[in-house]
Amino acid sequence: MGATPERRASLISRIPPMNPPSVLIIDDHAMFRTGLALVIRAALAQATVYEAGHLEQAMELDVNALDVVLLDLQLQDVNGLACIAPLRRRWPSARVLVVSSHTDARSAREAHARGVDGFIAKTEPAAKIVESIQLALSGAQVPAHAPAPESISRSLTPRQCEVIELMHRGLPNKLIARQLDLSENTVRRHVQDILAFFEVGSRAEAVFIARQRGLVY
C-alpha cells in the first residue's frame, strides 16, 4: 500500500540538504510545459528547470546530471514510452516521472514495465505534481496519482472536452491540432478515446450525444 499523506509529509520534511535540484520537463504542449515550469520554480525556489518539446531537444541539452525528468507519453511523432530507455542512458541517476493526460491502466502498466519511477495524471492539482517531485528528490516511492478506471469512465478530461467542442464546430483533426497546439496523432488519440467514452463508432454520433448531455452547445 502507498504511504499515507502524513507519512509522505514526514518523508518530505526529512529530505537531507542537497545541491539545488535540477528538473527536466519534456512535453510538446508549450503552454502546459511553461506553466508547470513556473509552478516548480515557485515551489522549489533553488531548482533549475529545463524544458524540451521533444526527445531530440532534450538529448541536446548541455547538462551532465539531472535529478528528475517529467515525461509526457504523447509527444509529437513519438510515443513517450520509447523515450524512457535513452533518457536512462543519458542521465542514469535521474528519476523519471510520467505526467500524462492518458491515465488508463494499460498506459500506467506499460510505463512502469519500462522502469519509470512514478505516473501522474495531468489533471492532478499542481500541488500533487510538486509533491511527487519532492518525493522523487528524497528517494522515496512516488505513489500513482492516476485515477482509477471507474472514475475515468465517468467523465471526459478537460482536454477531451476541448476536443469535443471543436469537433462540434466541425473542425477536422488537423485544424483541432493547430487550434490546441497538439500533434495530429495526439488529437487522433483523443478522438478515439471520446468515441470509446460515448460507446459510438463515429464523430457525428459522439457530437450528438455530447449535445444531448449539455457538454456542447
pLDDT for 28-81, tens place per residue?
888 888 889 999 999 998 899 999 999 999 999 999 999 999 999 888 767 888
Instruction: Please give the class, per CATH, of domain 5-148.
Output: alpha beta
pLDDT at 145: 61
What is the pTM assigned to this prediction?
0.60
Are the C-beta atoms of residues 1 and 50 closer than 8 Å to each other?
no
CA dist., res. 110 & res. 131, Å (int): 23
Q: Do domains 5-148 and 155-209 have the same CATH topology?
A: no
pLDDT at 205: 84
Q: Is 182 left (phi over 0), alpha (psi -120 to 50) or beta?
A: beta
Confidence of residue 89 (pLDDT cuts 50, 70, 90): very high
Per domain, the residue ranges of the chain are 5-148, 155-209
Q: Does 152 have pLDDT greater than 50?
A: no
pLDDT in tens, 104-147: 777 777 788 888 999 988 878 888 889 999 999 998 888 776 54
- The three grid cell numbers given for residue 166, joined into one nine-digit string: 471543436
Please check whether the domain covering 155-209 is classified as CATH 1.20.1740.10.
Answer: no
pLDDT at 147: 46
- The three grid cell numbers given for residue 48, joined into one nine-digit string: 533549475
- The three grid cell numbers given for residue 148, joined into one nine-digit string: 482509477
